[in-house]
Each structure stands twice: as structure tokens, then as C-alpha cells.
Structure 1
Amino acid sequence: MLLVLGVTASVALHAQMALTGAHGPGWSLLMGVMALLCLSCLAGLVRAGDPAGPVRMTMGMALAMALGHVLLLPLLAGAPGAHGAHAAHGGEATVAAAGAGHGGMLLVVGVELIVATLAVGWVRRHKQRITYQAV
């Protein structure tokens, strides 16, 4: 199931961001918490039984995380120990370093949006199946 692969990618990205600690210990802790939240969705998706609830939860969490990461982008630009600290060095290295961090965050946003899209597709197909069975 593509949805499970997408959530697995999200767990891996959040865990990597937490373990690298590029934005400082506070942000690493936040990314670790997000990885655990992704794991809870993943566990619900692979568990036996009706996946409708876990898929809807995954859809909501993916949209919330995408929004959360977009809102975090400006905070990371000025956070001490984050990419705002690169400004003291000046030059093109500053732009490259800041872009690399934001690129990782944008990658997570993209993955979360893909996960949400896959979940929406699953819910729509599931609803159509139920409608056809009822007729």
C-alpha cells in the first residue's frame, strides 16, 4: 500500500531531522515527537481490522504536519543555533546553508502532502465501494 510507504518515509525523515540535531536540541526534540506521531499512524495502518479510522487519522495528521512545517520555516530562519546563525558568516555559503535546511523541511511538507493525497484517494475509493455494495 502506497500510503504505508508514504508514512514510513515521513517517519524516516522526521527521525533523521531529530537525530542530526542541525537546528538545536529543542527542534530535535520536536522532530522526535513528530516521528512518534507518524509511528502511531503507521501502527494503525498496518494493524488488522477496518483501516478507515486510521486512514482518516493519517490524512488529518499529514495535513496538520504539512501546515506545521510550513509555519516552522520562518521560525527556523531566525532561531539561534539554526539557519539564522549562518547570517554572521555572510556570502553565498549563507544562502546555500539556509537553503539546505529549508529544503529538508520542504521535502517533509511534500511527503506529508503526498500522504494526505493518498489518504483522500483511499477514503474516496472506500466510500464508492460501500455505495456500490449498498445498491
Structure 2
Amino acid sequence: MYKPLLFASLFLTPFSLHALDTRQVPAERLLELGGELAANAGASQWQQLWHRVRQAGYLQANGAPVHFTVPSARLPELARQTLAQADQVQPLQQTHALYRRSFAGLVIGQRGGQPLHALCLLVDWRTLPQGMRDTPQAYLRSTSLLSSYPCD
């Protein structure tokens, strides 16, 4: 008798209540989580990221207002470095975090013809339960690398 009610309540409870709320996590911990994700993200996570980057036009210099200028062969390592050693992290929405790393002396991309020296990487932590933020290993392979782009 109670099982259908319990089952129904799972659908009525917003998933985001149980997911990591990046707005409630100290920046230091978000930076540590980024480092753990950089070390443990799987090939499919990175492939999906680069697919989204390509779709957004960030790899096309022709006519794109914001685009990468660094050789595309270097981007995977620069993205890993951004996650592993971000200069800063900013919580966005409820489960997203934007990781940013500046690469002094290296032009990562351009915005409207102006050089950009930093790389930004957007991560969605919604698959990491709030209660598992200190032991996230089992959830890192399901974390979404949403986008990456040159920034200032």
C-alpha cells in the first residue's frame, strides 16, 4: 500500500533537491572536485564536450564572434589543465560551475578580434548527490562537461 505512494513521491520530488547545489559548496571544494574530474573523466565525456564546442562554433575562426585560435590539438590538454588547476570557479544556476584558467602569454582565442588568454569550462554536477560531494569517485564518470570556450 505504501510502495506506490513512495514510488510516486520520487517523481514529485525535484531531482535538483538531491543533486549537488554548487551555490552551497565552498569554492575550494569546487576547485578540488574539478581536479578530481580532470583526472577521472572518461573519453566519452571529453568527446561530448568537443562535439558541443564544435556545434557552438568555437572552433571556427570564420565569422564566429568568439572562437579558439590555439591549435585544436592543444585544446584537450588545456581543458584538463583548466579543470585540474583552475584560477577560479563560479557557481551558476543550481548544479553548474564555470571553471576558468588564465594562460599568461598564450592567446587561447578571440572575441571580436580581441585576444583572450583564458579558457572557461562549464561543468554540470547534477549527477553528483549533495551528500556525496566529499566522496565523488563513483559519480565522476557521469558528470557532464557542457562547454568550453575562450574567455577573459
Q: Which band: TM-score by shorter chain?
A: under 0.3
If each structure's strand is expressed as a fraction of its own residues, which one has the higher value?
Answer: 2
| Higher-helix-fraction structure | 1
Give the TM-score, by structure 2 length.
0.26
